[in-house]
Amino acid sequence: MAGGQELKLLGLWESPFVVRSGIALNLKRLGYEFLEEVPGTKSELLLKSNPVYKKMPVLIHNGKPICESMIIVQYIDKVWAAAGPSILPSDPHDRAIARFWAVYIDDKWFPSLLKIVRAKADDEEEKAEAAEQVIAGLQLLEEAFEKCSKGKDFFGGQTVGYIDIALGCYLGWLKAAEKMAGIKLLDKEKIPLLVGWAERFCSADAVKEVMPEADKLVEFAKLLRGTQNVAAPN
């Protein structure tokens, strides 16, 4: 509970989008109840709480649902502005830039990572093509990190911020994709700043509690490979 307020997070531990919400809640030091869905099914509570998209995560605050992962992050930052560090930048231009990169990550970069996860084990051409796109996107994000971080540890500066959460939630799946495809994606020679950032991000207290292990994600992906059940952005 958060100061007597009821907070429930509905989703799957494997979902990077659920991880986003968990990180934001942890950053604000908010207690919450995690209501885990069953893979491949949609609970009555999920369908009732998100009748339009029927997707997770859903944050339920005092009985009222909030949907879409980055909207949930913004909601948490706004409602509990005084609790913990700010997630979105205070400067309007910096805030707009942060939102821009979050949209890029979900709309342009993540689909390539998803192709690696979903690719058939023997489809080396598809995996190599997708890996090339993932690496190209990471190189672009390396440049963004250099500008946004201004020489500090995170995209958000001294602490984990909006872009950190948007990209960092995928690190478990990024490492899982490396194992599944036998391809190095987080390459220190190509993206040294992002490799250092990834290590710091995964070591942050707010992140460690909710970041899924790569080996467990590999096993999960094997069960879902060839289906449409591996999470899509929401």
Name 26's Cβ contacts closer than 8 Å, sequence gap at least 6. Answer: 205, 206, 207, 209, 210
How high is the pLDDT of residue 222? 83
How high is the pLDDT of residue 233? 44
Number of domains, the chain: 2
Same domain for 96 and 208, yes or no, is yes
Mean pLDDT of 34-55: 96
- DSSP single-letter state for residue 100: H
Rounded CA separation 189/212 (Å) = 26
Same domain for 116 and 194, yes or no, is yes
Same domain for 56 and 102, yes or no, is no
Q: In this structure, is residue 109 part of a structural domain? A: yes
Q: Which of 79, 104, 121 is the last residue of a domain?
A: 79
Mean pLDDT of 1-8: 76
Q: In this structure, is residue 84 part of a structural domain? A: no
pLDDT top residue among 120 and 24: 24
Same domain for 40 and 154, yes or no, is no
Domain range for 73 is 7-79
pLDDT top residue among 39 and 61: 61
130-141 pLDDT, tens digit per residue, is: 999 999 999 999
Q: Which of 16, 50, 79 is the last residue of a domain?
A: 79
Given a contact cutoff of 8 angstroms between Cβ atoms, the answer to whether 113 and 174 are in contact is yes
How high is the pLDDT of residue 20? 98
Average pLDDT over all residues of the chain: 93
Tokens of 39: 């893979």
Q: What is the pTM of this model?
A: 0.94
Q: In this structure, is residue 200 part of a structural domain? A: yes
Helices assigned H by DSSP within the chain: 16-27, 44-49, 69-79, 92-104, 110-118, 124-149, 162-168, 171-181, 192-203, 205-208, 214-224
Tokens of 63: 């009985």
Same domain for 104 and 220, yes or no, is yes
How high is the pLDDT of residue 227? 53
